[in-house]
Amino acid sequence: MTILVTGGAGFIGSNFVLDWLRLHDEPVVNLDKLTYAGNRENLASLEGDARHHFVHGDIGDRALVERLLAEHRPRAVLHFAAESHVDRSIHGPEDFIQTNVVGTFRLLEAVRAYWTALPAAEQAAFRFLHVSTDEVFGSLGPHDPPFAETHRYEPNSPYSASKAASDHLVHAWHHTYGLPVITTNCSNNYGPYHFPEKLIPLMIVNALAGKPLPVYGDGQQVRDWLYVGDHCAAIRRVLQAGRVGETYNIGGHNERTNLDVVRTICRLLDALAPAPARGVCDVRSGAPVQRYEQLITFVTDRPGHDRRYAMDARKIERELDWRPAETFDSGLRKTVQWYLDHPDWVQRVQSGAYRAWVQRQYGQEALA
């Protein structure tokens, strides 16, 4: 028995692979293109582990995918691979179309050919689990009910539109060809190995370096935050017992404004790594930092910024008995501590290309 994971060197994918092999002996074939956010170092603890077979490749390479399926005969494919950052999609949407739409199409076609040729019993047991996002549903008003699985798709960014397209492709391959698929739509993840262009890791690493903490607009955009370990547990449960053809929302029940998230990170850092004790100075002025909140800097909002996301996760709770184990406070504390404990990982991922991106997105002041 084997599973094939796409995008297993990225943030959520690598956490899933690490947790899977900590809890199971079933081998993992891990296919990842190793773009800027894919990092083999995330998987360093698996070096020499015969249960982990890493393949550097593209989900859009159908011949490669077909070879891996024929060679390893997985009982399931878990599709994490995606271009996933809204800001990057605004500046360069074509990569998102190629990976999230064309790549998913080619993956589905390779998997369909493999699944069709399986013996009847293996066909019935096979699963294609597609990992998606709450952003496909658009934006909520301040008093609107959270997104349910039946909510209308209203994507507002190139990223969310490309993910919505991939969701529709997966559904169509089930409806038309009978491919046994399950889709999950998750809220904002956070936790270890998160590439520091996203809000939470960016704030942590910038604060510790005395750099500005760039907050878009008024900082009142609301997101539902989900600890990545809880997300991985939910995906394992969906793979185990989810109903074919169904969609399951996975949320953390933790709605917070972006500004509240940043201030909470600052308070945690004040407690766990006080700026005066670390000798942190504001890179703009050279003045010693007393409290990390003084580094908060409001920057121009990004185009089309969705105001609020929230997930109704009652279906997965009711049908599969899954609930998040972490509160926002406990998960965020674990996350901040992980970044404090892994400065070398942070330093190595902050390449020249990363610095250029931060400058482009937030301006020279935010890079400092």
Residue 352 has pLDDT above 80, yes or no: no
For residue 59, being part of any structural domain is answered with yes
Amino acid at residue number 189: N
Summarize pLDDT for 306-315 with one digit per residue, the tens: 999 999 999 9
Task: Quote the CA–CA distance of 254 and 262 in Å, as a whole number.
Answer: 14
Phi–psi pair at 48, nearest 5 degrees: 85, -5
For residue 340, being part of any structural domain is answered with no
Is 159 a known active-site residue?
yes
The single residue of 32, 58, 87, 134 carrying the catalytic annotation is: 134
CATH number, domain of 70, equals: 3.40.50.720
Percent of the chain's residues with pLDDT above 70: 95
Show the tokens assigned to 107: 């993956």
More confident residue, 122 or 34: 122
Residue 367 has pLDDT above 80, yes or no: no
Is 134 a known active-site residue?
yes
In whole numbers, what is the pLDDT of the chain averaged over residues? 94
The domain tally of the chain equals: 1
Summarize pLDDT for 167-192 with one digit per residue, the tens: 999 999 999 999 999 999 999 999 99
The single residue of 32, 58, 83, 135 carrying the catalytic annotation is: 135
Q: Give the pLDDT score at 345.
A: 92
For residue 319, being part of any structural domain is answered with yes
For residue 29, being part of any structural domain is answered with yes
Q: What is the mean pLDDT of residues 357-365?
A: 57
Buried b (16+ CB within 10 A) or exposed e, 337-346: ebbeeeeebb
For residue 92, being part of any structural domain is answered with yes
pLDDT band at 368 (very low <50, low <70, confident <90, very high): very low
Q: Give the pLDDT score at 359.
A: 62
Q: Give the pLDDT score at 365.
A: 47
For residue 302, being part of any structural domain is answered with no
For residue 168, being part of any structural domain is answered with yes
Residue 264 has pLDDT above 90, yes or no: yes
Residue with tokens 């909470």: 264
For residue 359, being part of any structural domain is answered with no
What are residue 312's DSSP bridge partners?
Answer: none
CB atoms within 10 A of CB 357: 18
The single residue of 58, 83, 87, 159 carrying the catalytic annotation is: 159
Which range of residues forms the domain containing residue 166? 3-191+227-253+309-327
pTM of the model: 0.94
Summarize pLDDT for 3-24 with one digit per residue, the tens: 999 999 999 999 999 999 999 9
